[in-house]
Chains A and B, each alone.
Chain A
Amino acid sequence: MSLSPSDSVAIEDAQVASGTPPPEGAAASIIEGRSPWRLAYERLRRDRASLVALGVVVVIILVAIFAPVIAALTGHGVYEQFRSTGLTPDGLPVGPNSQFLLGTDDQGRDILVRIAYGARISLIVGVVATLAEVVLGTVLGLAAGYFGKVVDTVIARIIDIVLSIPFLLFAISLVSISHPSLTIVIVVIAVFGWAAVARVVRGQVLSLREKEYVEAARALGAGPWRIMFIDILPNIVAPIIVYATLLIPVTIVIEASLSFLGVGVPPPTADWGTMISGAQQIYQQAWWYLLFPSLALLITTVAFNIFGDGLRDALDPRAEQLYE
Chain B
Amino acid sequence: MTENGVPADAAGGDVLVRVQGLKKYFPVQSTSAFRRSHEQVHAVDGVDLEVFRGETLGLVGETGCGKSTLARCIARLLDLSEGHVDFDGRDITNLSARQMRPLRREMQIIFQDPYGSLNPRRRVGSIIGDPFALHGVADGAERKRRVQEVMELVGLKPEHFNRFPAEFSGGQRQRIGVARALALRPKLIICDEPVSALDVSIQAQIINLLADLQSEFNLTYIFIAHDLSVVRHVSDRVAVMYLGKIVELAPVEDVYQVPRHPYSNALLSAVPMPDPNQKVDSHQIILSGDVPSPINPPSGCRFHPRCPKAQAKCSVDDPALIPVLGDPPGHVTACHFPVETGEVMESRPGVIAGEGAPAA
Contact present between A and B (CB < 8 A):
yes
Restricting to A17-35, which residues have a CB under 8 Å from any CB of B?
Answer: 18-19, 21-24, 28-29, 31, 33, 35
Q: Which residues of A contact B118 (CB under 8 A)?
A: 213, 216
**Known contacts A213-B119, A216-B180, A217-B130, A19 near B166 by CB under 8 Å:** yes
Interface residues of B in 120-135 (CB under 8 A from A): 120-122, 130-131, 134-135
Contacts of B104 in A (CB 8 A): 219-221
Q: Is B116 an interface residue (CB 8 A)?
A: yes
A267 contacts the other chain (Cβ, under 8 Å)? no
Q: B180, A234: Cβ atoms under 8 Å?
A: no
Q: Indicate whether A235 sits within 8 Å of B167 (C-beta atoms), given known contacts A215-B111, A221-B100, A221-B104.
A: no
Q: Does A36 contact B (CB under 8 A)?
A: yes
Question: Does the CB pair A21–B131 fall under 8 Å?
Answer: no
Contact yes or no, A33 B164, CB < 8 A? yes
Within the assembled complex, what's the spacing in Å between the Cα atoms of A36 and B164?
9
The answer, yes or no, to whether B162 is at the interface (CB within 8 Å) is yes
Q: At the interface, yes or no: B157 with Cβ under 8 Å from chain A?
A: yes
Task: Tell me whether A36 and B121 are in contact (CB under 8 A).
Answer: yes
- B121/A219 in contact, CB under 8 A: no
Would you list which residues of chain A between 214 and 250 have a CB under 8 Å from chain B? 215-223, 226, 230-231, 234-235
Decide yes or no whether A324 CB sits under 8 A from chain B: no
Decide: A219 and B119 in contact? CB cutoff 8 A: no
Q: Which of A19, A21, A215, A231 contacts B169, CB < 8 Å?
A: A21
Q: Is the CB of A219 within 8 A of B75?
A: yes
B268 CB, min distance to chain A CBs, angstroms:
30
Indicate if the CB atoms of A220 and B164 lie closer than 8 Å. Answer: no
With a CB–CB cut-off of 8 A, which chain B residues contact A231? 119, 122
Does B172 contact A24, Cβ atoms closer than 8 Å? yes
A16 and B101 CA atoms in complex are apart in Å by 33
Residues of A contacting B101 with CB < 8 Å? Answer: 221
| Residues 172-226 of A contacting B (Cβ, < 8 Å) | 211-213, 215-223, 226
Chain A residues, CB < 8 A from B108: 219-220
- Would you give the 0/1 interface string for A242-266, flagging 1 where the beta carbon is closer than 8 Å to chain B? 0000000000000000000000000
A-contact bits for B160-196, CB 8 A (1 contact / 0 none)? 1011111111111000010010000000000000000
Contact of A18 among B105, B117, B122, B166 (CB under 8 A): B166
Closest chain A residue to B157, Cβ basis: A29
- Known A-B contacts A29-B159, A36-B121; A21 and B168 likewise in contact (beta carbons under 8 Å): yes
Q: Is the CB of A216 within 8 A of B167?
A: no
Please tell me if the beta carbons of A218 and B77 are within 8 angstroms of each other in the complex: yes
Write the nearest CB–CB distance from B20 to chain A, whole angstroms. 22
Which chain B residues border A21 with CB–CB below 8 Å?
A: 166-170
Residues of B295-349 whose CB lies within 8 A of A = none
Please measure, in the bound complex, the distance between the C-alpha atom of A31 and the C-alpha atom of B336, giving whole angstroms: 60
Most buried by A among B164, B171, B202: B164
Q: Would you call B122 and A211 a contact (CB within 8 A)?
A: no
CB distance from A142 to the nearest CB of B (A): 15
In the assembled complex, which residues on chain A have CB atoms less than 8 Å from the CB atom of B135?
221
Contacts of A216 in B (CB 8 A): 109, 111, 117-118, 177, 180
Establish whether residues B75 and A234, one from each chain, have CB atoms under 8 Å apart when the complex forms. no
CB of B113 closer than 8 Å to a CB of A: yes
* Bound Cα distance from A24 to B168, whole angstroms: 8
Interface assignment of B97: CB less than 8 Å from any CB of chain A: yes
Q: Is the CB of B97 within 8 A of A223?
A: yes
* CB pair A220 B131 closer than 8 Å: yes
A33→B167 contact, CB < 8 A: yes
State whether B163 touches A222 (Cβ < 8 A).
no
In the bound complex, residues from chain B placing their C-beta under 8 Å from that of A29 are 157, 159-160
**B137 shortest CB reach to chain A, Å:** 12
A219-B109 contact, Cβ under 8 Å, with A212-B116, A213-B117 = yes
User: Could you tell me if A221 and B105 are in contact, using CB atoms closer than 8 angstroms?
Assistant: yes
Across the interface, do B117 and A221 meet the contact criterion of CB distance under 8 Å?
Answer: no
B-chain residues with CB within 8 Å of residue A234 when the two chains form the complex = 119, 121-122
B47-105 interface with A by 8 A CB criterion: 75, 77, 97, 100-102, 104-105
Closest-by-CB residue of B relative to A214 is B119
Shortest Cβ gap from A181 to chain B (Å): 41
Please give the distance in Å from A205's CB to the nearest CB on chain B: 14
Interchain CB contact under 8 A, B169 and A22: yes
Find B119's partner among A35, A218, A235 (CB 8 Å cutoff).
A235
User: Which chain B positions have C-beta within 8 A of A213?
Assistant: 116-119
Q: Residues on B close to A: CB < 8 A? A: 75, 77, 97, 100-102, 104-105, 108-109, 111-113, 116-122, 130-131, 134-135, 157, 159-160, 162-172, 177, 180, 202
Closest 6 A/B residue pairs (Cβ): A18-B166, A221-B104, A234-B121, A212-B116, A212-B117, A33-B163
Selected A-B contacts with CB under 8 Å, 29 pairs: A16-B121, A18-B165, A18-B166, A19-B167, A22-B168, A22-B169, A24-B171, A24-B202, A28-B157, A28-B168, A28-B172, A33-B162, A33-B163, A211-B116, A212-B113, A212-B116, A215-B111, A216-B109, A216-B177, A216-B180, A219-B108, A220-B130, A221-B101, A221-B102, A221-B105, A222-B134, A231-B119, A234-B121, A235-B120
What would 7 more interface pairs be, CB under 8 Å, given A28-B168, A36-B120, A219-B108?
A33-B167, A212-B111, A215-B77, A220-B104, A220-B108, A230-B122, A234-B122
